[in-house]
Amino acid sequence: MQYDTRQTGKPPSPVEPTGFFTGVQIRPIIVGVVVDYIATYAGTYAYFFIYLAKQLSKQGEVTGDQIRDYMTSPEGLMIGFVIGVLGTALGGFVAAQKAGRLEIKHGALVGFCSLIVSFIEQSLQEESTPLPEWFRFLSVLAIIPAGALGGFLAEAFKGFGRGYPQSGRSWPGT
């Protein structure tokens, strides 16, 4: 296809690919990782040490071994998993809101950075609770999509509640 210079009078701009990290802001990602960790730990402690301790106290005296045994049971692991996924999604949402653009990418990067921080945290622990391999695998697979989901929701709710209509908007990522 030939370029017709009579239409605009200037040559076309060169085609330059954008890099993966083009437009990524570091500060919102750091804030998102911090929010992820605070939300995850607060949710975990609230569930296990407030709700679960109350439920176990109905059966008698609560010991640390009972809580540890429940935390490593399949039910306790799945509840911890859901709390962790929700914390990561919240961190991705906050990062995407702070960034204001490329929301899904910022959310996914929160998940990736949280994954790195959790690996570092586990490697620094002297005594770690033995977890089943299926649980570790599921957690690693879910953390980046959970952050991206938070970014997706931030993009979907962009402008929500700011007093102007959302007419003519399409779904995020399309």
User: Does residue 30 have a pLDDT over 80?
Assistant: yes
Q: What is the pLDDT of residues 90-140, one digit of tens each?
A: 999 999 999 988 899 999 999 999 999 998 988 888 777 778 888 889 989
Closest CA to 34 of 98, 125, 127, 79: 98
What confidence score (pLDDT) does residue 86 get?
Answer: 95
pLDDT band at 145 (very low <50, low <70, confident <90, very high): very high
What confidence score (pLDDT) does residue 54 get?
Answer: 74
User: Does residue 8 have a pLDDT over 70?
Assistant: no
Average pLDDT rounded to a whole number, residues 18-36: 86
**How far is the C-alpha of 70 from the C-alpha of 28, rounded, in Å?**
35
Closest CA to 33 of 103, 98, 117, 102: 117
What confidence score (pLDDT) does residue 121 get?
Answer: 87
What confidence score (pLDDT) does residue 42 get?
Answer: 94
| Beta carbons of 66 and 58 less than 8 angstroms apart | no
What confidence score (pLDDT) does residue 92 get?
Answer: 95
pTM reported for the whole predicted model? 0.76
**How far is the C-alpha of 28 from the C-alpha of 96, rounded, in Å?**
7
- Tell me the domain boundaries of the chain: 26-156
| Beta carbons of 118 and 80 less than 8 angstroms apart | no
What confidence score (pLDDT) does residue 87 get?
Answer: 95
**How far is the C-alpha of 120 from the C-alpha of 76, rounded, in Å?**
23
User: Does residue 167 have a pLDDT over 60?
Assistant: no
pLDDT band at 45 (very low <50, low <70, confident <90, very high): confident
